Amino acid sequence: MNARLEWVGARRLRFGPGLFLLAALIGLAPSSGWADQDEPALDALFDRLNTLDHRAEGERVTNRIWRLWREIDDPKLAAAMEQGIVALRSDRHGAAERHFSAVIEAEPGYAEAWNKRATVRYLRERYTAAAADIGRALALEPRHFGALAGLGLVYMELEQYRAAIESFERALELNPWLDGTRRNIAIARERLRADNT
């Protein structure tokens, strides 16, 4: 991708002509303990997301979900995730991909490793590979709004704007507090209209 990444707010990345990479990089440090997509507390957190009235509370619940998704009990895998995240933050995408791939090889049932590798592959403009990783993440955690938002971004790069809108909307159904994703829908609709004129 030719566009340079820049932080927008505390938790969003903006890139390209107005698109926002939301969620895939939220809360980049892994936690200790095991939870991931199988943590029973996630059900209650997802139920709360759609009943909240205040943005600050919505963001707190969103961050809690991300923390649970990141958790992994193996210290070596947690260290590899951390190394991948540090590399990703430093724009060392090849190193980041190697670290996330090592985690996937050791623990293929860990959805967040697939999601993080999808993020790296997206940034490396390997859109088909990113979409495949997103598919694996969603097979493990169908509620992964970050992966769905990321899939929308992949579709945007492929100029498949209807599919992008559908992915963004699915992410918002799960988590209505994704402002960048809402803006991405507006951008996708504009591009779709421009293509149809």
Least confident range from 1-5, 92-96, 122-126, 132-136: namely 1-5
26 pLDDT above the threshold of 50 = no
Q: Which residue has the higher pLDDT, 18 or 96?
A: 96
* H helix and E strand count, the chain: 9, 3
C-beta of residue 61 within 8 angstroms of C-beta of residue 42: no
Is the whole model's pTM more than 0.75, yes or no?
A: yes
What are the residue ranges of helices labelled H in 36-126?
Answer: 41-49, 55-70, 75-89, 93-106, 111-123
| Residues 6+ away with beta carbon under 8 Å from 8 | 14, 20, 180
Bridge partners of residue 137, in order along the sequence: none
Class at the top of the CATH hierarchy for domain 6-145 = mainly alpha
122 pLDDT above the threshold of 80 = yes
**pLDDT score recorded for residue 2:** 26
Quick: pLDDT tens for 65-88.
Answer: 999 999 998 999 999 999 999 999
What's the mean pLDDT when you consider all of the chain?
85
Cα 116 to chain centroid distance, Å, stands at 7
Q: Which residue has the higher pLDDT, 40 or 130?
A: 130
Cα 52 to chain centroid distance, Å, stands at 22
SS (H, E, C) 104-173: HHHCCCCHHHHHHHHHHHHHCCCHHHHHHHHHHHHHHCCCCHHHHHHHHHHHHHCCCHHHHHHHHHHHHH
Residue type at 89?
A: R
Instruction: Copy the structure tokens of residue 79.
Output: 């260290």
Q: Checking DSSP bridges between strand 12-15 and strand 19-21, what pairing results, if any?
A: antiparallel
Quick one: average pLDDT of 44-57? 93
Integer Cα distance of 171 and 194 in angstroms: 24
Integer Cα distance of 32 and 169 in angstroms: 32
